Amino acid sequence: MGVLRDVEITWDDLLDAFENSDAELVFFLDRESGEVFSVTVDYEDEEFWEEIDDDVDRYLRVPGFGFDEERLLLHEFIKGTTNQNLKSLLQKSFMGRLPYGKLEEILTFYPEEEERLEAIKEEMTTSRIRRWLEENDIYFSDDAF
C-alpha cells in the first residue's frame, strides 16, 4: 500500500453502503477521495470496470447487507426477545415456516421490539464497519461512531 492519506469519509454514506441489501447494486469506497459511490452490477462501461480492477488498492468494494448478515441479526434479535409469544412467532418465521409472515409485518404489532431490532442492527453494522475499516488500514476518528 502507498502513502496514507487523510481523507474525509461521510459516515452516513458508508452506513448506507453497508446496509445495502440490493444484490443488483454494488458500492465502492475511493480511498483517495473518501467518496462512497454505487453502480449497478450490470453497469456497461468497460473503462470503469477496468479502472476498478486495475486499482484494487484505491477502490474498495463495500460489503453489503446480505443473507448471512440478516440471519445473524435475526438470530441475535430473537435470542433477546422476552415475550414468549413473539419469540415463538419469530422463531417459526426465522425457520421459514408459513403462515407466520414477514418480520416487518410481525413487528408492526410490537413497536418497542421494532426499535430494539433497529438498535441491534445499527450496533452490528457499526461493528462490521469498524472491522472492515481496520482490515483495510483505514482509520476513522472515534467521534464518527
- Tell me the C-alpha distance between 5 and 123, whole Å: 28
DSSP one-letter string for 93-111: HHTT-TTS--HHHHHTT-H
More confident residue, 36 or 142: 36
Q: Closest Cα partner for 58 from 37, 74, 79, 83?
A: 37
Mean pLDDT, the chain, whole residue set: 87
- Tell me the C-alpha distance between 120 and 113, whole Å: 10
Confidence of residue 15 (pLDDT cuts 50, 70, 90): very high
Q: Which residue has the cell 461521510?
A: 10
**Do 90 and 117 contact (CB within 8 A), yes or no?**
no
Encoded amino acid at 64, one letter: G
Given a cut of 80, whether residue 6 has pLDDT beyond it is no
- Tell me the C-alpha distance between 73 and 125, whole Å: 10
- Tell me the C-alpha distance between 106 and 28, whole Å: 34
Given a cut of 90, whether residue 5 has pLDDT beyond it is no
Given a cut of 90, whether residue 17 has pLDDT beyond it is yes
Q: Closest Cα partner for 70 from 113, 128, 31, 133?
A: 128
Beta bridge partners, 27, equal 38, 62
Domain boundaries, the chain: 1-64, 67-123
In percent, the amount of the chain with pLDDT more than 70 equals: 88
**Do 25 and 63 contact (CB within 8 A), yes or no?**
no
Predicted confidence (pLDDT) per residue in 63-119, tens digit: 999 888 988 999 999 999 999 999 988 888 777 765 556 788 888 889 999 999 999
Helix axes 67-79, 84-94, angle to 10 degrees: 160
The predicted pLDDT at position 40 comes to 96
Given a cut of 80, whether residue 143 has pLDDT beyond it is no
The predicted pLDDT at position 98 comes to 54
